[in-house]
């Protein structure tokens, strides 16, 4: 969230507080959106005001601009959190975790870049 939003002044914001803001989402079918909607469902919370944007960078720019709140990958916004353009909210149940499958052709040799990428994915567990 942008630090100037009222939700950022709450000592322990809840997901209900979060959902009362305009929630910025990716397009229908995106993994990030599904994770947010699934979490809202498990919390029995309805997202009343949403705005759909086409990329994480567009969502991040809109959040920095104070247009709403969102759930973004930490590595996408850490620089802006450090610079105090964004604030990570301490909401119970966050961060949301998602599962990924690593798929590659078993008969092809991976490039050094691909091997490095796979190592970093496996280490982030």
Q: Is 93 left (phi over 0), alpha (psi -120 to 50) or beta?
A: left
Distance between CA atoms of residues 8 and 66, nearest Å: 12
The predicted model scores a pTM of: 0.79
Residue 73 has a pLDDT of 86
Q: Per-residue confidence of the chain (125 residues) as pLDDT tens digits? A: 999 999 999 999 999 999 999 999 999 988 889 989 999 999 999 999 999 999 999 999 999 999 999 999 888 899 999 999 999 999 988 878 777 778 889 899 999 999 999 888 888 65
Helix (H) or strand (E) holding 50: strand 50-52
Location of structure tokens 């990716």? 26
Which bin fits 66, alpha (ψ -120 to 50), beta or left (φ > 0)?
A: left
What's the confidence (pLDDT) of residue 110?
Answer: 93
Q: Residue 125's pLDDT is what?
A: 57
pLDDT of residue 92: 87
């Amino acid at each position: 969230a942008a630090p100037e939003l009222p939700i950022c002044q709450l000592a322990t914001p809840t997901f209900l507080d979060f959902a009362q803001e305009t929630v910025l989402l990716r397009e229908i079918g995106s993994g990030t959106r599904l994770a947010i909607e699934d979490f809202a469902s498990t919390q029995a919370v309805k997202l009343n005001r949403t705005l759909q944007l086409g990329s994480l960078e567009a969502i991040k720019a809109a959040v920095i601009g104070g247009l709403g709140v969102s759930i973004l990958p930490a590595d996408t916004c850490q620089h802006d959190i450090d610079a105090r353009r964004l604030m990570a909210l301490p909401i119970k149940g966050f961060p949301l975790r998602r599962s990924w499958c690593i798929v590659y052709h078993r008969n092809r040799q991976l490039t050094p870049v691909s091997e490095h990428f796979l190592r970093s994915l496996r280490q982030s567990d």
